[in-house]
């Protein structure tokens, strides 16, 4: 697998996983008040960024292991 294909696979895997995890976590930790405030936006952004970072690393490790076995 060349570098570009590997990068695309990592990006796709991480993006899908980050979306799923962030949406579930934001529902759990962010209250849905009548009017959203800056705190709610900040919590949602931090959850999204943290999950994206962690899941990108996991996807990268998974792809590297798959490539290493080939």
- Is a pLDDT exceeding 70 seen at residue 30? no
pLDDT digits (tens, 9 = 90+) for 3-26: 888 888 888 887 888 777 777 776
How many Cα neighbours within 13 Å face the side chain of 46? 8
Task: Find all residues with CB under 8 Å of 18, minimum gap 6, and list them.
Answer: 48, 51, 52, 55, 56
Look at the block and give the residue holding tokens 């960024």.
49
């Amino acid at each position: 697998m060349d570098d570009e294909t590997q990068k695309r696979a990592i990006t796709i895997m991480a993006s899908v996983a980050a979306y799923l995890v962030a949406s579930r976590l934001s529902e759990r930790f962010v209250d849905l008040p009548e009017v959203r405030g800056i705190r709610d936006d900040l919590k949602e952004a931090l959850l999204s960024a943290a999950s994206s970072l962690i899941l990108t690393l996991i996807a990268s490790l998974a792809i590297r292991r798959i490539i290493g076995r080939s």
